[in-house]
A and B are shown apart, each in its own frame.
Chain A
Amino acid sequence: NAGVTQTPKFRVLKTGQSMTLLCAQDMNHEYMYWYRQDPGMGLRLIHYSVGEGTTAKGEVPDGYNVSRLKKQNFLLGLESAAPSQTSVYFCASWRENTEAFFGQGTRLTVV
């Protein structure tokens, strides 16, 4: 039982490059969320999913896309990376009325 696993853990991108962050959970959770965390900004919700095949925008969705084709995986895509997307990205999953489990985070730098 690995919990929530994020890959990769670190990445450096050049402006304009694309990449996909993978979040995988083995707890059969319905809810999966992607957050970004910047110094002094707390956790800001990018996109979320309340079940397989569903996605919705959070408070800072611009420049990101997501997909939840399988219940255990939630993918976050950056089509054309910008320096403003330099951040630490966290994925979280949970079941209704229970606590959220977070991944270890992905530290992304866009140069």
Chain B
Amino acid sequence: GQQVMQIPQYQHVQEGEDFTTYCNSSTTLSNIQWYKQRPGGHPVFLIQLVKSGEVKKQKRLTFQFGEAKKNSSLHITATQTTDVGTYFCAGTLKTSYDKVIFGPGTSLSVIP
């Protein structure tokens, strides 16, 4: 079946270091979304990428959607303790309706 994978599962970084999480789908996606979940909280939407090769930035966060629309990445520059949480990618498959598949998430810990 369709799958969305993320690596790494966990990442521990020193504050100020960069961080990247990768998302890969076995199927071509119509779009990819990224969410952040703080410890004890619920997932919150960060961004949506739709076009092949699209790159979007939000302050220190850079999101990319691959040319084949099967992979995506989230890069955080100079991490801060406020970046702690789990980052999920979610891929949308276009069928007769939107089928959204979440990746397993990457848990980021930032050591001050």
Q: What residues make up the interface of A, taking CB atoms closer than 8 Å to B?
A: 31, 33, 35, 40-43, 45, 50, 90, 92, 94, 96-105
Point out which of B31, B88, B98 has the most chain A C-beta atoms below 10 A from its C-beta. Answer: B98
| B97-108 near A? 1/0 per residue, CB < 8 Å | 110111111000
Q: Identify which of residues 11-49 in chain B touch chain A, using a CB-to-CB cut-off of 8 Å.
A: 31, 33, 35, 42-45, 48
* Nearest-Cβ distance from residue A30 to partner chain B, whole angstroms: 8
- What are the residues of chain A within 8 A of B44 when measuring CB–CB? 102
Q: How many residues of B contact A (CB 8 A)?
A: 20
What are 25 contact pairs spanning A and B, CB under 8 A? A35-B102, A42-B103, A42-B104, A43-B102, A45-B101, A45-B102, A50-B97, A50-B98, A92-B43, A94-B98, A94-B100, A97-B31, A97-B92, A97-B98, A98-B48, A99-B33, A99-B45, A99-B48, A100-B33, A100-B43, A100-B45, A102-B42, A102-B43, A103-B42, A104-B42
* Nearest-Cβ distance from residue B40 to partner chain A, whole angstroms: 9
* Nearest-Cβ distance from residue B103 to partner chain A, whole angstroms: 7
A94–B101 Cα distance when bound, in Å, is 14
How many A-B contacts are there with CB distance less than 8 Å? Answer: 47
- What are the residues of chain A within 8 A of B105 when measuring CB–CB? 42-43
Q: What residues make up the interface of B, taking CB atoms closer than 8 Å to A?
A: 9, 31, 33, 35, 42-45, 48, 88, 90, 92, 97-98, 100-105
The answer on a CB contact under 8 Å between B98 and A42 is no
* Nearest-Cβ distance from residue A51 to partner chain B, whole angstroms: 8
A35–B104 Cα distance when bound, in Å, is 12
- What are the residues of chain B within 8 A of A100 when measuring CB–CB? 33, 35, 43, 45, 90, 100
The answer on a CB contact under 8 Å between A90 and B98 is no
Q: Look across to chain B and name the residue whose beta carbon is closest to the beta carbon of A33.
A: B100
Q: Look across to chain A and name the residue whose beta carbon is closest to the beta carbon of B102.
A: A43
The answer on a CB contact under 8 Å between A105 and B42 is yes
* Nearest-Cβ distance from residue B12 to partner chain A, whole angstroms: 15
A42–B10 Cα distance when bound, in Å, is 12
Point out which of A31, A41, A43 has the most chain B C-beta atoms below 10 A from its C-beta. Answer: A43
